[in-house]
Amino acid sequence: MSSNPQKALFDEAFGHLKAGTPERALDACMRGIDAFPNDANIFCLAGQSLITLKRFEDARGHINAALHKFPDFANAHEMHGDLLLLEGQFEKSIEAYQYVQQAQPNRTHVTAKIQRANELINSLVAGASPQRQDFAFTEELKQAQQFKQDGEPKKAEEIYRTVLRKNPNHSEAMLLLAGVAAAHNNYSDAEMLLLRSVEKSPNFSRAWLDLSKMQVELGKYPDALKSAERLVELNPDIAESLVALGNTQAQSNFTELAIETYRRAIDLSPAHQSAFSGLAHQLKTVGRQDEAVAAHRQNIKVNPSNTESYWSLANLKTFRFEASEVDTMEQLLEDKSLEDLSVVQLCNALGLEYEGRKDYERAFHYFERCNQTRRQLEKYDPVGHEVLINQIIDVFNADFFQEHKGLGNLDSSPILVVGLPRSGSTLIEQILASHSQVEGTHELSDLAQMVQDLKRKSPRGTHFPENMREKKVQSWHDIGGQYLQRTDKYRSGTVHFIDKNPNNFIYCGLLQIILPNAKIINARRHPLDSSFGSYKQLFASGQPFSYDLCELGEYYIEYQRLMDHWHAVIPGKVLDVNYEDVVADLDTQVKRILDYCELPFEEACLRFHETDRAVKTASSEQVRKPIYASSVNLWKNYEPYIDELIEILEPLLQKLPADQQPISIINMTQ
């Protein structure tokens, strides 16, 4: 028998691992840990055996225990780096390896591991260009990067242009200049630069990645998919490339393909946050809620500090957290170093959870903290918005409509659902999309993008709506046709399609001119339910007015002012549908909506919750259930905390029946 049983067990385990039998190595390590629980070498060798066996979840738990038990042990940090590298978390793996280098500089093999991690980063993020002449301007591009970091993007842009003047084929400079164009929403220019970049450097991974994103922005989904597939060809073993492909498939409405691709990414990188998030979102989109919940919870398990998953779970609306999960979120919020976005996500999730528990005071506390933090990250000018509404009312007056009558495209296929967020637009869309002649296409940005394009074609480059006075470059008929052409990619041949972008309410007048036979439905809801519903909703992007109660109230006032104007100058062209009326009498409202859209009645519209289709908005789970009234007058639970919102909306609230008014308004009139 060996005089040193501790060493004998280690040698036995190491021998098995070296011989390619990790199961036997792990068995020996477990015996060693039982006998010698404070032996750091045996403990870490067990983790290495688990990694070799690809039992990554078990390995992560074991490594975390090793780092806690032996925080200064270099082997534990190196093993952690190995796991991070396998999971695709390359930057974090480098941090772990660098700790080892500092602790034990003689470990030269760790330098090779750092080099490998950097190679993997560069293969996707920098996309090492094969053009030798690209390297001649390395210092200039480093200086440009510094300018960007210092908040001087124009100086960086000038460097990119200087490099391209000296070398028109410099692939990386093209890519960087494309980024400048994209930042200004000039996606066509960005695409052109990126196409040149990949033409000169066909293996430039980062250019293929950015190209697929630009093509998505332009609605060129087949091209975007080809670009993302090329990225995967170049980097088949890197999870990030598969996530990029999954994102492109998801945005192209190939939901099942996206689900499969995200799962492939997770197979390569079992703790990849973005892969789990993408997978869960797509599962939610097609109504597989239990699987979505499981994906989010697995994401939290392997990434305990990942706050996005908590918010995504809460955003399912019909989901309730376990007590231990609430405790964990509140503990995470105690970390003073937490990033603002994480604070926002956790507070929104906790607000929704406490609302579900009917603890409205605590819910409001978290909603308020969420919005105060988020508002600091948003750019929104309420005065500028009011000026815009004034201009729209001034341009689109009764004389303007009379002057341009009969000049539009007579196609009657579009049905636009407009209004404000959280006002029942998804419910209306689901009802209509249950009809055999109607296809739901979600919230489209094409109309707003088309208006931006018209600005560039305007003789003086004026903005909407002033450039509508100068419309000479294109006929109104052609503009209507352009909208139909842009949205054709979302359709599969039905008679009608739905464009459910709430923000399109500002374009009702333009729509009446370019597409006079299009139907416009205005989704309405009690001003306080609509406004506070937006306040509770953490939007992924857009709606910057929704994070301050005063600004929300003012925005609602302007929305109502513009809708009143549309009813006055194009009477009968916009159908108001009140959410509360739909909830109270579904049959009558469904028939009313169908009559307005000139569609025959179909029973399926009453059974909208049975319709099997992808729903991408925050209300996706709610519209898969029969109609319910629990969200009507939800604002009353928060009445003690929303005085400023009530005060701003007072002119509208006074017009409502007494049972729909806040107590403070009722008391004023008595």
HEC letters along 237-271: CCHHHHHHHHHHHHHCCCHHHHHHHHHHHHHHCCC
Q: Which residue numbers in the chain have pLDDT < 70?
A: 1-3, 87-89, 119-138, 456-461, 471-474, 612-628, 669-670
Please indicate, yes or no, whether residues 232 and 281 belong to a single structural domain of this protein. yes
Cβ(562)–Cβ(505) below 8 Å: yes
pLDDT at position 135 = 45
Dihedral of alpha carbons 432, 436, 438, 442, sign:
positive
Closest CA to 568 of 437, 397, 446: 397
Residue at which a domain ends, from 100, 125, 150: 125
pLDDT at position 580 = 94
Cβ(194)–Cβ(182) below 8 Å: no
Measured in whole angstroms, the distance separating CA 1 from the mean position of its chain's CA atoms is 62
Q: What is the CATH number of the domain that holds 589?
A: 3.40.50.300
Residue 83 lies in a domain: yes
Please indicate, yes or no, whether residues 471 and 581 belong to a single structural domain of this protein. yes
Please indicate, yes or no, whether residues 356 and 386 belong to a single structural domain of this protein. no
Tens of pLDDT along 140-198?
877 887 887 777 888 888 988 998 888 888 888 898 899 888 888 788 899 999 999 99
Beta bridge partners of 497: 414, 439
Please indicate, yes or no, whether residues 210 and 84 belong to a single structural domain of this protein. no
Full residue range of the structural domain in which residue 89 is found: 5-125
Residue at which a domain ends, from 375, 407, 441: 375
Please indicate, yes or no, whether residues 570 and 448 belong to a single structural domain of this protein. yes
Q: What is the CATH number of the domain that holds 85?
A: 1.25.40.10
* Separation CA 129–CA 136 (nearest Å): 12
Please indicate, yes or no, whether residues 311 and 256 belong to a single structural domain of this protein. yes
Residue 68 lies in a domain: yes
Torsion of CA 240, 241, 247, 252, to 10 degrees: 180
Please indicate, yes or no, whether residues 354 and 211 belong to a single structural domain of this protein. yes
Please indicate, yes or no, whether residues 442 and 573 belong to a single structural domain of this protein. yes
pLDDT at position 631 = 77
Residue 638 lies in a domain: no
Closest CA to 121 of 144, 89, 87, 82: 89
Please indicate, yes or no, whether residues 112 and 142 belong to a single structural domain of this protein. no
Question: For the chain, what is the mean pLDDT?
Answer: 88
According to DSSP, the β-strands at 496-499 and 414-419 are parallel
Please indicate, yes or no, whether residues 461 and 608 belong to a single structural domain of this protein. yes
CA distances (Å), origin 429, targets 179, 369, 503? 35, 32, 15
pLDDT at position 122 = 60
Please indicate, yes or no, whether residues 434 and 515 belong to a single structural domain of this protein. yes
Q: At what angle do helices 56-69 and 40-52 cross, to 10 degrees?
A: 160
DSSP string, 185-223: T-HHHHHHHHHHHHHH-TT-HHHHHHHHHHHHHTT-HHH
Residue 515: burial class (beta carbons within 10 Å; 0-12, 13-18, 19+): buried
Dihedral of alpha carbons 530, 536, 542, 548, sign:
positive
| Count of other CB atoms within 10 angstroms of residue 264 | 16
- Count the domains in the chain: 3
pLDDT at position 612 = 64
Residue 658 lies in a domain: no
Buried b (16+ CB within 10 A) or exposed e, 5-25: eeeebbebbbebbeeeebebb
Residue 633 lies in a domain: no
Please indicate, yes or no, whether residues 368 and 447 belong to a single structural domain of this protein. no
Tens of pLDDT along 625-667?
556 677 789 999 999 999 999 999 999 999 999 989 999 888 8
Cβ-proximal residues to 75 (8 Å cutoff; 6+ apart), any chain: 40, 41, 44
Residue 360 lies in a domain: yes
* pTM for this model (two decimals): 0.74
pLDDT at position 127 = 46
pLDDT at position 124 = 53
Residue at which a domain ends, from 312, 341, 375: 375
pLDDT at position 627 = 66
Residue 463 DSSP one-character state: P
In angstroms and rounded to an integer, the radius of gyration of the C-alpha atoms of the chain is: 29
Tokens 């918010």 sit at which residue? 311
Residue 458 lies in a domain: yes
Residue 595 lies in a domain: yes
